[in-house]
């Protein structure tokens, strides 16, 4: 998916009113008056939101008699979700690595000086620790 397309999708989703409109459209097609009803904004303001959603490809609009109905288009949402899934996988892997590291730090090492003398173990990163010491 092109960056421009994703920019448009995420830009459209950045507004809470537009997200609420998309949520309403999951229930079925609706005209401007139906979409404007829950908000304290004018129908022209809702029409501007619909135009942004339409330009992002998130909705399509069609005429039915005298009404202009808005319809949710799922494909752009799927594309954005797929893009985000790559980062979800990345962060899941990093959090798993962090969990392993933290578990390893909580387990006392058998035969280490800390486990036999009760003293503090030196940090595994002591060689790269650049923290200023007292008197240094």
Report the distance separating Cα 119 and Cα 127, nearest Å: 19
Is 135 contained in some domain? no
Q: Is residue 45 part of a domain?
A: yes
Q: How far is CA 116 from the centre of its chain?
A: 47
For 112-132, write each residue's pLDDT tens digit. Answer: 555 444 445 544 454 445 445
Report pLDDT digits (tens) over 68-95: 899 999 899 888 998 888 888 888 888 8
Q: Is residue 117 part of a domain?
A: no
Q: How many domains does the chain have?
A: 1
At 70, which CATH number?
A: 1.10.10.10
Query: Domain range for residue 57?
Result: 3-76
95 assigned to some structural domain = no
Q: What is the pLDDT of residue 5?
A: 87
Q: Given pLDDT bands bounded at 50, 70 and 90, which one contains residue 134?
A: low
In terms of DSSP bridges, do strands 67-72 and 59-64 run parallel, antiparallel, or are they unpaired? antiparallel
pLDDT digits (tens, 9 = 90+) for 48-74: 999 999 999 999 999 988 888 999 998
Residue 18 belongs to a domain? yes
Predicted TM-score (pTM) of the model is: 0.64
In which band, very low, low, confident or very high, does the pLDDT at 136 lie, cut at 50, 70 and 90?
A: very low
87 is a domain residue: no
Q: What is the pLDDT of residue 127?
A: 46
Band of the pLDDT at 10, cuts 50, 70, 90? very high
In a domain, 108, yes or no: no
Assess if residue 23 is contained within a domain: yes
Distance CA 45, CA 80 (A): 26
């Amino acid at each position: 998916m092109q960056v421009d397309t994703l920019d448009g999708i995420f830009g459209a989703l950045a507004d809470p009113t537009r997200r609420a409109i998309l949520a309403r459209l999951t229930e079925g097609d609706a005209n401007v008056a139906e979409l404007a009803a829950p908000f304290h904004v004018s129908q022209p303001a809702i029409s501007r939101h619909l135009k942004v959603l339409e330009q992002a490809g998130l909705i399509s609009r069609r005429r039915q008699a005298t009404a202009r109905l808005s319809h949710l288009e799922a494909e752009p949402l799927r594309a954005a979700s797929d893009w985000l899934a790559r980062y979800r996988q990345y962060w899941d892997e990093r959090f798993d690595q962090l969990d392993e590291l933290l578990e390893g730090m909580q387990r006392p090492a058998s035969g280490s000086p800390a486990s036999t003398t009760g003293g503090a173990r030196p940090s595994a990163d002591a060689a790269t620790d650049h923290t200023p010491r007292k008197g240094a």
